[in-house]
Amino acid sequence: MLHAIERFHATYPDVILELNVSRHPYSFLGDQRSGTGSMAGYDAPLTQTWHDALLGYMGNNPVARDQAERAMAVQGASAGLNLDFGVLAQWQPVESQRLLLWAGRFGLQEEFMSALNKRHFEQRQSASARSTLLDAAREVGLDVAAAVAFLDSRELEDVVWKSYGQTIYEKKIHSIPLFALSVPSIGAVGGPFRPPGKHEAYVVRGSMDEEYFFKLFQVILRDHQAGERIYDERSQPYRLDEWRSSAPGRGTCST
């Protein structure tokens, strides 16, 4: 998405695209701390690599797992990332998601997440290891001593676990990443965490490429200039806001 934003600004130098990001901790296991099947939960030791963990996620099918890895590697390379599936991984990295929320208090959430992701996905420094978290915090200018004190407490732990359960059981989110972009100026508000507005939010499911997000930003610009969300072929890929259609008294907008 970052590359798409940079491309958008280069293409439309007189337009400011501002995104206010709210992240919600997520785990495919929900709030089940003991895990399920071959997907180890929070109480399991940190001994499983991302490569191993994906096997359980792909139904213990090694062919499907390897295909998924190749697809992710290609997509990562297109964004300048060299994914390393040998990193130790945990399905419920509570400490890293607590520190992510904490970093948001200082306006450094996205910077911290970028630094952490670089270490985890490319340098085999697990996001579940405290040393990795503190190195990422130090890189972006966070107070490391304050970060240690925060992690030594249990602050925000309940928030992370609540989000684990809520996102799956209440919000019915079963795949990530999921992006729901609201544009209040035209009443396009919604997704799983906001009350529905006059129009649907712009929803993206999955790790889409630069071109996909660039076209989305172009659609948003067009709609903003028109003063309303336009439902046509260009907007169709971003019309997946089932939370709006399931809200009381709401239905899907027709094209």
What SS3 class is residue 188? strand
Q: Please list, in sequence order, all residues whose beta carbon lies within 8 angstroms of the beta carbon of residue 244, skipping any fewer than 6 positions away.
A: 190, 191, 196, 200, 201, 250, 252
Q: Look up residue 238 and give its amino acid.
A: Y
Are 6 and 108 in a shared domain?
Answer: no
Phi, psi (deg, nearest 5) at residue 178 = -130, 125
Are 241 and 186 in a shared domain?
Answer: yes
- CB count within 10 Å of CB 84 equals 17
What SS3 class is residue 178? strand
Are 15 and 41 in a shared domain?
Answer: no
Q: How many domains does the chain have?
A: 2
Task: Report which of 98, 168, 85, 169 is spatially closest to residue 137, judged by C-alpha positions.
Answer: 98
DSSP string, 64-106: HHHHHHHHHHHHHHHTT----TTSB--S--HHHHHHHHHHHTT
Does residue 31 lie within any of the structural domains?
no
Q: Looking at residue 122, what is its pLDDT?
A: 97
Does residue 41 lie within any of the structural domains?
yes
Distance in angstroms (rounded) separating the CA atoms of residues 255 and 230: 8
Are 22 and 41 in a shared domain?
Answer: no
Q: Looking at residue 56, what is its pLDDT?
A: 87
Q: Looking at residue 2, what is its pLDDT?
A: 84
Structure tokens, 124: 């085999």
- CB count within 10 Å of CB 187 equals 16
Are 8 and 93 in a shared domain?
Answer: no
- Residues 89, 48 contacting (CB under 8 angstroms): yes
Are 122 and 218 in a shared domain?
Answer: no
pLDDT tens-digit profile, the chain (255 residues): 888 999 999 999 999 999 999 999 999 999 998 877 778 889 889 999 999 999 988 989 999 999 999 999 998 888 788 999 999 999 999 999 999 999 999 999 999 999 999 999 999 999 999 999 999 999 999 999 999 999 999 999 999 999 999 999 999 999 899 999 999 999 999 999 999 999 999 999 988 888 999 999 999 999 999 999 999 999 999 998 888 876 555 544 444
Q: Looking at residue 248, what is its pLDDT?
A: 54
Q: Looking at residue 254, what is its pLDDT?
A: 41
Does residue 166 lie within any of the structural domains?
no
Q: Looking at residue 253, what is its pLDDT?
A: 46
Phi, psi (deg, nearest 5) at residue 105 = -65, -20
Are 118 and 146 in a shared domain?
Answer: yes
Are 189 and 88 in a shared domain?
Answer: no
Are 50 and 8 in a shared domain?
Answer: no
193 burial via Cβ count (<10 Å: 0-12, 13-18, 19+): middle
Does residue 211 lie within any of the structural domains?
yes
**Can you give the residue range of the structural domain that contains 206?**
1-26+173-255
Are 57 and 153 in a shared domain?
Answer: yes
Distance in angstroms (rounded) separating the CA atoms of residues 40 and 29: 9
Q: Looking at residue 154, what is its pLDDT?
A: 95
Does residue 164 lie within any of the structural domains?
no
Are 144 and 245 in a shared domain?
Answer: no
Torsion sign over Cα 84, 85, 90, 91: positive
Domain finish residue from 159, 190, 214:
159
pTM score, whole prediction: 0.88
To 5 degrees, how large is the angle CA 38–CA 59–CA 159?
A: 60
Q: Looking at residue 161, what is its pLDDT?
A: 97
Does residue 32 lie within any of the structural domains?
no
